């Protein structure tokens, strides 16, 4: 066969390039000439194995013709093995030796041909063409296998091959070793492996997902899942394999394995989300980019009365919202960083009624072919609003008489004073204190006392104009605000009328009880320019009326101003007390009502003057608030608490929690939160061991106070509302405030358990606290009956003289030492 004819066996775009390895120069030259005559390109002729390696590496020929016995350290077979390892260039051996040993060694390099010298040109040409064709076929197979491997990797598939006759097989993945079925399905449960084996031996395919042993890192931690597809085949050769086999005839099982842990967990999360969507109590609406409804959940159907079929495709605003969201609302929602809005909306039911609902509107990030763009969740606020209104009523009104309480009185009086300034009118404020009420209450019982208070409230309400206000401050104290006062005589006539009405007998349980009252009157603007001064003037006048023999009306006079002077004396003495070190902290225990164990202690400020006279907190704390000294005193209290805490901690006596009162003024001014942070760091007191108590007034004193409270809560310090129930706290506000505890005001506790109104208030506060996840402490526990009532209601902690009186620091430390469970040390004295 000619070279031209032979080349047709393997068409090429260019002549095949060959490197010749032959140590006999004449043979090499002859071979090169013959190759060139056949149309091949001889790139280089070398005589040594080492040179052959360099030539192949540098020239990248299509073929190497290799003599076995050549010069150098490497013979032809060793050189061929190296070439296969490094470049996979096909090698054809040329040798005069055909011994079995030589052939065996040559086979280890997997040559593409073996020529026995001497050979003819056409034999050489045929061998070269076959070698090149075989190499091209091998390369094509390798490329195909590589593509298959990459595709399997991308798909996460592992080929699975098993011979049921020998129970041997392999997994086509790196590092896998042949093994039996148990090895191939390592991690599968024994029962699952047995079931899979049985099914395959019956000639039936297997497909499914199984749990396998082995931890999984990341969000899907908790177990792995493998998907297995396997099919029994019959026949022994590749071309003879049949896909349809009978039981026991399978000779080979081929399939794939894939780790579907992520998919499985995603499906489980989707299932859980579906359960939530179907079972959640909140109504959910899903809408497309044009706000047309695409899906609603059962809670929506129950809340609105619309069926899903009736609302699909409808505009959310036009159908549901009353009024609709303002123009630009939905576009602005997309521009919010979190794509979220929350607020109250009017939700229109199918029957036309409009519900007040708390709605959360969120924009879903856009995704290809994703129909849902907006998700709306709605919670019916009807029950919460009703509870809020009830609590608001309780917070603003006296439960027993139905009259406004101090909080509502303050609001109305402030409003009337502002109006009077604007219009130039007068306002009369009357303080009313029932004479001898305690005697009636003690002799006839609390029920009789309550009946008397209710009748007093009714008479006051019936005796005044709609524009006027009658309020109960607590106990037997009432207040009347008379508006649009033209002259003081008008106030005098109303006061005399009230005095006469209150002196009329009251039917209490079949008995006629005759009482009286002392009334103090102050007039705006001459007796006081604001609520505080007017209240103080009326209070002074009321005490003057009592001093005049009771059942009397007394107007504020300049003679009563002496009381104001005494107030000034308290302020000046308080300023000196800070310099003289007359202030000290006492600590009142707070105990768990379940077992009387100590859970905390409240730090209470005490003032003992140089002359040994003790000034009650009721006398100097209000003065400190009004004068601004409360800020300096607050710093002193905080420093002392930190110092005591450090000393007690060193002695092994630290109580679980220390509580301190913080006034609204401290939160409104200065950097109280920053100062608190620095003092905690300096003292080493853990923030969660400190609880600050603020009044409801502090929560309404402005954004600056709320920011301070947020910062304080972020430090880890606990926050409690002190005297809860005496101010205004809406449910919607409470659930968003950084609170940990509510302290029930002593005014409710002192009327337990006989006052049904007080019981109702305390039960409401405890139930509400549980709903909001807050702890509860009752203040002012002084009797066993009060304690028993609070335990029955479910109040957690308590504080009061019955449970422990305030103690100085030394005495309190000894109490801590007496209840300590471990070794203690002496308490280090504090500086100053």
Q: What is the pLDDT of residues 342-384, one digit of tens each?
A: 888 888 889 888 888 888 888 887 654 456 688 888 888 877 7
Residue 696 has pLDDT above 80, yes or no: no
Confidence class of residue 100 from pLDDT cuts 50, 70 and 90?
Answer: confident
DSSP string, 409-425: HHHHHHHHHHHHHHHT-
Residue 390 structure tokens: 């009830």
Determine the pLDDT at residue 59: 92
Calculate ∠ Cα 806-810-815, nearest 5°: 65
Do strands 91-95 and 113-116 pair parallel, antiparallel, or not at all (unpaired)?
A: parallel
Alpha helices (H) along 156-220: 181-184, 190-201
Determine the pLDDT at residue 400: 92
Task: Quickly tell me which residue has 């969507």 as its tokens.
Answer: 277
Determine the pLDDT at residue 455: 92
Determine the pLDDT at residue 509: 75
Determine the pLDDT at residue 730: 56
Q: If phi over 0 gives left and psi between -120 and 50 gives alpha, with beta otherwise, what is residue 61?
A: beta
DSSP 672: H
Q: What is the pTM of this model?
A: 0.39
Determine the pLDDT at residue 151: 61
Confidence class of residue 701 from pLDDT cuts 50, 70 and 90?
Answer: low
Strand partners, 476: none
Contact 47, 20 (CB under 8 A): no
Residue 425 has pLDDT above 70, yes or no: yes
Contact 119, 38 (CB under 8 A): no
Backbone angles phi, psi at 495, to 5 degrees: -65, -40
Contact 345, 323 (CB under 8 A): no
Reference 171, options 317, 179, 443, 264; nearest CA is 179
Identify the helix (H) or strand (E) that includes residue 318.
helix 316-320
How far is the C-alpha of 644 from the C-alpha of 221, rounded, in Å? 47
Q: What is the pLDDT of residues 124-151, one digit of tens each?
A: 999 999 999 899 888 888 887 677 676 6
Residue 780 structure tokens: 């002012």
Determine the pLDDT at residue 372: 62
Q: What is the pLDDT of residues 253-298, one digit of tens each?
A: 888 888 877 777 776 777 776 677 777 878 899 888 888 998 899 9
The better pLDDT of the pair 444, 793 is held by 793
How far is the C-alpha of 630 from the C-alpha of 203, rounded, in Å? 90
DSSP 13: S
How far is the C-alpha of 239 from the C-alpha of 711, rounded, in Å? 77
Mean pLDDT for the stretch of residues 643-657: 85
Taking the CA atoms of residue 682, residue 684, residue 687 and residue 689 in that order, the dihedral angle to the nearest 10 degrees is -130
Reference 690, options 723, 654, 663; nearest CA is 654
DSSP helix/strand/coil, 488: helix
pLDDT, the chain, mean: 84
Q: What is the pLDDT of residues 317-350, one digit of tens each?
A: 888 888 888 888 887 777 777 778 888 888 888 9
Q: What strands, in cross-sheet order, belong to the sheet with 41-46?
A: 41-46, 17-21, 63-67, 91-95, 113-116
Confidence class of residue 442 from pLDDT cuts 50, 70 and 90?
Answer: low
The better pLDDT of the pair 547, 673 is held by 673
Q: What's the gap between Cα 122 and its chain centre?
A: 84
DSSP 321: B
Q: Which of 208-217, 278-287, 317-326, 660-669 is least confident? A: 208-217
Reference 260, options 248, 268, 272, 251; nearest CA is 268
Residue 453 structure tokens: 């208070």
Residue 625 structure tokens: 């608030």
Reference 572, options 627, 637, 513, 642; nearest CA is 627
Q: What is the pLDDT of residues 751-789, one digit of tens each?
A: 899 888 889 989 999 998 898 889 999 999 999 999 999
The end-to-end CA distance of the chain, in Å, is 120
Determine the pLDDT at residue 521: 94
Q: To the nearest whole percent, how much of the chain has pLDDT over 70? A: 88
From residue 731, give the alpha-carbon distance in Å to each of 47, 281, 743, 822.
98, 20, 16, 43
642 Cβ neighbours under 8 A, 6+ residues apart:
679, 680, 682, 683, 685
The better pLDDT of the pair 8, 756 is held by 756
Determine the pLDDT at residue 763: 93
How far is the C-alpha of 416 from the C-alpha of 524, rounded, in Å? 10
Q: What is the pLDDT of residues 14-37, one digit of tens each?
A: 789 999 999 889 999 999 999 999
How far is the C-alpha of 827 from the C-alpha of 159, rounded, in Å? 75
Backbone angles phi, psi at 537, to 5 degrees: -65, -45
Q: What is the pLDDT of residues 144-184, one digit of tens each?
A: 767 767 666 665 677 778 888 888 887 766 656 677 877 77
């Amino acid at each position: 066969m000619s070279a031209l004819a032979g080349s047709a066996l393997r068409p090429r775009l260019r002549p095949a390039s060959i490197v010749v390895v032959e140590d006999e120069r004449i043979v090499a030259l002859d071979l090169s000439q013959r190759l060139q005559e056949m149309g091949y390109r001889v790139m280089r002729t070398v005589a040594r194995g080492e040179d052959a390696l360099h030539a192949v590496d540098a020239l990248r020929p299509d073929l190497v013709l290799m003599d076995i016995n050549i010069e150098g350290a490497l013979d032809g077979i060793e050189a061929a093995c190296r070439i296969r390892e490094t470049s996979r260039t096909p090698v054809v051996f040329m040798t005069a030796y055909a011994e079995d040993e030589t052939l065996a060694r040559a086979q280890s390099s997997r040559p593409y041909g073996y020529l026995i010298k001497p050979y003819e040109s056409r034999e050489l040409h045929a061998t070269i063409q076959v070698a090149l064709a075989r190499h091209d076929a091998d390369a094509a197979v390798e490329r195909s296998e590589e593509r298959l491997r990459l595709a399997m990797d991308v798909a996460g598939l592992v080929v699975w091959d098993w011979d049921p006759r020998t129970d041997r097989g392999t997994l086509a993945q790196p590092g896998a070793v042949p093994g039996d079925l148990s090895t191939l399905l390592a991690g599968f449960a024994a029962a699952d492996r047995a079931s899979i084996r049985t099914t395959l031996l019956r000639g039936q395919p297997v497909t499914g997902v199984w749990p396998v042993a082995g931890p999984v890192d990341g969000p899907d931690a908790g177990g792995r899942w493998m998907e297995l597809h396997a099919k029994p085949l019959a026949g022994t050769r590749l071309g003879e394999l049949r896909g349809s086999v009978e039981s026991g005839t399978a000779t080979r099982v081929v399939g794939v394995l894939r780790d579907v842990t992520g998919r499985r967990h995603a499906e489980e999360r989707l299932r859980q989300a579906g359960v939530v969507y179907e079972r959640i109590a909140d109504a959910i609406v899903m809408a497309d980019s044009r706000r047309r409804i695409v899906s609603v959940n059962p809670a929506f159907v129950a809340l609105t009365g619309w069926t899903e079929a009736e609302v699909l495709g409808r505009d959310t605003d036009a159908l549901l919202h009353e009024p609709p969201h303002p123009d630009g609302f939905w576009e602005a929602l997309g521009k919010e960083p979190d794509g979220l809005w929350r607020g109250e909306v009017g939700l229109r039911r199918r029957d036309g009624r409009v519900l007040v609902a708390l709605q959360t509107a969120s924009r879903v990030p856009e995704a290809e072919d994703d129909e849902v763009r907006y998700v709306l969740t709605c919670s019916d606020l009807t029950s919460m609003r009703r509870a809020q209104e009830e609590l608001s009523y309780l917070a603003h009104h006296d439960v027993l008489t139905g009259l406004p309480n101090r909080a509502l009185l303050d609001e109305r009086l402030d409003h009337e004073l502002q109006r009077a300034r604007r219009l130039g009118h007068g306002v009369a404020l009357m303080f009313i204190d029932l004479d001898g009420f305690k005697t009636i209450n003690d002799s006839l019982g609390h029920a009789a006392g309550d009946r008397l208070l209710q009748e007093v409230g009714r008479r006051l309400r019936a005796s005044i104009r709609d524009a006027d206000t009658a309020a109960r401050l607590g106990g037997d104290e009432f207040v009347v605000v008379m508006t649009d006062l033209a002259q003081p005589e008008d106030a005098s006539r109303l006061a005399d009328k009230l005095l006469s009405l209150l002196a009329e007998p009251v039917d209490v349980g079949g008995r006629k009880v005759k009482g009286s009252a002392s009334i103090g009157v102050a007039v705006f603007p001459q007796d006081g320019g604001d609520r505080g001064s007017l209240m103080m003037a009326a209070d002074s006048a009321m005490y003057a009326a009592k001093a005049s023999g009771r059942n009397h009306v007394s107007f504020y006079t300049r003679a009563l101003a002496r009381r104001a002077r005494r107030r000034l004396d308290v302020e000046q003495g308080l300023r000196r007390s800070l310099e003289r070190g007359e202030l000290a902290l006492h600590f009142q225990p707070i105990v768990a009502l379940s077992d009387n164990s100590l859970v905390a202690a409240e730090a209470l400020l005490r003032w003992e003057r140089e002359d040994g006279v003790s000034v009650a907190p009721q006398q100097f704390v209000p003065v400190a608030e009004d004068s601004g000294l409360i800020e300096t005193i607050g710093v002193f209290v905080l420093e002392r608490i930190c110092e005591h805490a450090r000393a007690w901690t060193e002695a092994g006596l630290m109580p679980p929690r220390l509580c301190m009162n913080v006034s609204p003024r401290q939160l409104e001014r200065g950097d109280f939160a920053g100062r608190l942070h620095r003092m905690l760091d300096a003292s080493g007191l853990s923030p969660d061991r400190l609880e600050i108590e603020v009044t409801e007034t502090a929560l309404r004193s402005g954004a600056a106070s709320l920011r301070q409270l947020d910062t304080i809560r972020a430090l880890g310090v606990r926050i409690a509302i002190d005297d809860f129930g005496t101010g205004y706290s809406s449910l919607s506000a409470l659930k968003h405030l950084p609170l940990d505890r509510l302290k029930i005001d002593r005014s409710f506790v002192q009327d337990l358990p006989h006052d049904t109104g007080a019981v109702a208030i305390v039960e409401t506060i405890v139930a509400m606290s549980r709903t909001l996840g807050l702890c509860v402490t009752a203040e002012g526990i002084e009797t066993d009956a009060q304690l028993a009532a609070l335990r029955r209601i479910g109040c957690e902690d308590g504080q009061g003289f019955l449970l422990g009186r305030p103690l100085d620091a030394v005495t309190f430390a000894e109490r801590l030492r007496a209840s300590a469970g471990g070794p203690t040390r002496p308490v280090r004295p504090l500086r100053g």
